[in-house]
Amino acid sequence: MAEARAVLLGTDGIERLVGLLAGRGYRTLGPVVADGAIVPGPVNSSADLPRGVHDDQSPGSYRLSRDDDPSLFAWAVGPRSWKAELFPPGAVVFRTSGTGSEVQVVPVLDDAAPVAFVGARPCELAALGILDRVLGASEHPDPLYSARRAAAFVAVVECARPAPTCFCTSMGTGPAAGAGFDLALTELVGDGGHRFIARAGSSVGDSVLAELGGRPVPPAAWDERAELLERSEAAMSRRLDTDGLAALLARNLEHPRWDDVAERCLSCGNCTLVCPTCFCSALDDVSDLSGATERRRRWDSCFDLGYSEVHGGPVRSSTRSRYRQWATHKLSTWFDQFQTAGCVGCGRCITWCPVGIDITEEAAAIRASDGETVRKDGQA
């Protein structure tokens, strides 16, 4: 693509964007308030978006608040990521028909309309990039994920109000939008009024912008965007020191901190379910009395005792080994498999951990006493 098209839109531009995407056949999803949280949901107009709604997050705590702020996107991330739209929590892989020697395996075709995400966060865009490697570019790509991802339209909105649990600056995934979007929006609510800078990142995004219209972006609006991103970066106090982190964790598999965290961890699996990059799944074959069988896939969690079950019992029988597996996979062995970290710094696992366990704090504690290997109980 030639130089990316960029325009300045009024708030009516968001209204028109939603209508235009729906007109192109997309199922348009955006952030909506439901069950006390901001989560992806159907958006038919900008009135469905969370105007003046903010999220107040800390380890183990999430609350919404409202004020007269006209912003539509002044919040960080909620408990549900966009992953669920492309890699659903439950899906039928195939069905069988016929019986005996006549049995046939019939793949289940996905008939969902292509999805348009309006309001994904830069860290979530980075998470989709990771899932593209894991599920889309592996030796055996996941057909459902690959098809939905290829058809999806992603309009990312740059972050103006990170949560105290966010650490995307450490992971290089925000608050500015990186590569991989169709449109990148920056919401401006300064003296110049309520406006959006919209930039195209793909040929589809470019054609959408061409149809949307808008004005050229004046230098003052670019300055406003730069200040907004600077403020967002400065507001992000949580850090993960990634320098040599993969090797640090790999050589500290017997560190006593794993015992310490195991005493707090409930092994509930919340952290894996809210994580936008966790991809563990399990398969169940379910038959009825006619002999027809469905193979169903469902999300699973490495915190589940049964997840590492082999003959004779689970390989990871202790909470210590399951937390260690999760954290070292995210921050160490993921590099060996996929040449990237498995974490984008969204902070969800910190907020939605019922006991407020913080992956950045655990990694920092291990770094602080690198090489300590005294075990209390000799467990695996």
The residue within the footprint of ligand SF4, chosen from 237, 247, 355, 371 (CB under 6 A), is 355
Name 89's Cβ contacts closer than 8 Å, sequence gap at least 6: 298, 299
The residue within the footprint of ligand SF4, chosen from 5, 48, 276, 307 (CB under 6 A), is 276
From the list 243, 271, 233, the residue with the least C-alpha distance to 331 is 243
Does 349 bind ligand SF4 (CB under 6 A)? Our answer is yes
Smallest gap from Cβ 235 to ligand SF4, in A, equals 17
The residue among 154 and 327 lying less far from ligand SF4, judged by its C-beta, is: 327
The residue among 71 and 319 lying less far from ligand SF4, judged by its C-beta, is: 319
The residue within the footprint of ligand SF4, chosen from 26, 348, 358, 363 (CB under 6 A), is 348
The residue within the footprint of ligand SF4, chosen from 17, 115, 359, 363 (CB under 6 A), is 359
Does 122 bind ligand SF4 (CB under 6 A)? Our answer is no
Does 240 bind ligand SF4 (CB under 6 A)? Our answer is no
Smallest gap from Cβ 269 to ligand SF4, in A, equals 5
Does 275 bind ligand SF4 (CB under 6 A)? Our answer is yes
Smallest gap from Cβ 246 to ligand SF4, in A, equals 14
Stretch that binds ligand SF4, among 111-119, 188-196, 340-348, 372-380 (CB under 6 A): 340-348
The residue within the footprint of ligand SF4, chosen from 181, 303, 307, 334 (CB under 6 A), is 303
Does 277 bind ligand SF4 (CB under 6 A)? Our answer is yes
Does 267 bind ligand SF4 (CB under 6 A)? Our answer is yes
The residue within the footprint of ligand SF4, chosen from 150, 266, 282, 315 (CB under 6 A), is 266
Does 18 bind ligand SF4 (CB under 6 A)? Our answer is no
For binding to ligand SF4 (CB under 6 A), which residues are involved?
265-271, 274-277, 303, 330, 343-349, 353-355, 357, 359
